[in-house]
Amino acid sequence: MLSLPSVPTRRFWRLSEHQEVKPKPAMPAKPCRWRALHLALPLMVFLCGASPVGNAVVPGTDANVVTAIDVSDSIGRYEEWLQQTGLVRALVHPDFLRAATAGPRRRIGFAVFTWSSDGKFDLLVPWTVIGSAEDAARVSQALASVTLIDRTHYGGGDMEQDRDADPAAWHDRLTDMSEAIAFASLLLASSPHATERAVMNICANGTDNFEGRTESSRDAALAQGFTINGLVLGQDAELAQYFRSSVIGGPGAFAMDISDAKDAGEFMTRKLVRDLLASAPADAPRFRIE
């Protein structure tokens, strides 16, 4: 049985218990679609995570984990498959289930969304609890059934040609990692499940090429006590360095790279298990790249 080391107590409560939520630093201005989503998300998360019994207590978790899947234009079918298949397989892997149920509450909060730029998000898995093999299988099946990228209109094409044909659509398909981190932070702050550990898992195959404010979003997330880990799609030393310097942060933060499809499930399992591990020792390096 995999056990989780103890971590300093730090709680993130649902918005209905606003007195427990730490003040969030102001986020940079976003397009109208992002601002509207920013206002609507707390209600959406509450409704998705609400119990059918009005006065029921929403269970706490040992960790809340948000995975952000990159669906920007540079994501090809292979990288799309790596992300989706890796998650689908990892969620039903025995090692992941042991890690998810090893803490004192024996459950974690879990959410997944896709991102690109200009406020384009798709909440594939609203906040849900994974505390059993049945829970994990349910989430895995849900992820397996979705289409991440509709390639009849979006992604995988000739960016220069698409930009000339439809500049607005091309603008929507950039890599706004800053916005992805900000949205993941909002999800973590809006979770209905109280926890001592809140982690976001940012997947990407390139650097931020939209607004270039990744560090400011990262710093705002760290100020709220969140941990940011990274999944580098491919084996690119410069991109790994970018993740180390501009993306990841928090106790025990790390980034890993994936490029081999046949190992996608095993790799993502190791990634999620490590996401669930508690804070690194005080004398450990703040950032690590594997």
Residue 150 confidence (pLDDT): 78
- Residue 66 backbone zone (phi > 0: left; psi -120 to 50: alpha; other: beta): beta
Can you list the domains of the chain with their CATH numbers? 38-50+59-289 (3.40.50.410)
Residue 25 confidence (pLDDT): 36
Residue 24 confidence (pLDDT): 32
pLDDT tens track for 196-246: 899 999 999 999 877 668 999 999 999 999 999 999 998 889 999 999 999
Residue 53 confidence (pLDDT): 34
Helices and strands of the chain, counted as H and E runs: 10, 7
Distance set, CA 138 to CA 130, 133, 230, 283 (Å): 9, 9, 25, 39
Q: How does pLDDT run along the chain (290 residues), one tens digit per residue?
A: 333 333 333 333 333 333 333 333 333 344 434 444 444 454 444 444 443 334 445 779 999 999 999 998 888 888 999 999 999 999 999 999 999 999 999 999 999 999 987 778 999 999 999 999 999 999 999 999 998 887 765 444 444 444 444 445 445 567 889 999 999 999 999 999 999 899 999 999 999 877 668 999 999 999 999 999 999 998 889 999 999 999 999 988 999 988 766 678 888 999 999 999 754 334 333 333 33
Distance CA(187)–CA(38), nearest Å, equals: 10
Give me the amino acid identity at 269: T
Distance CA(273)–CA(279), nearest Å, equals: 13
- What does the block give as tokens for 127? 């906040």
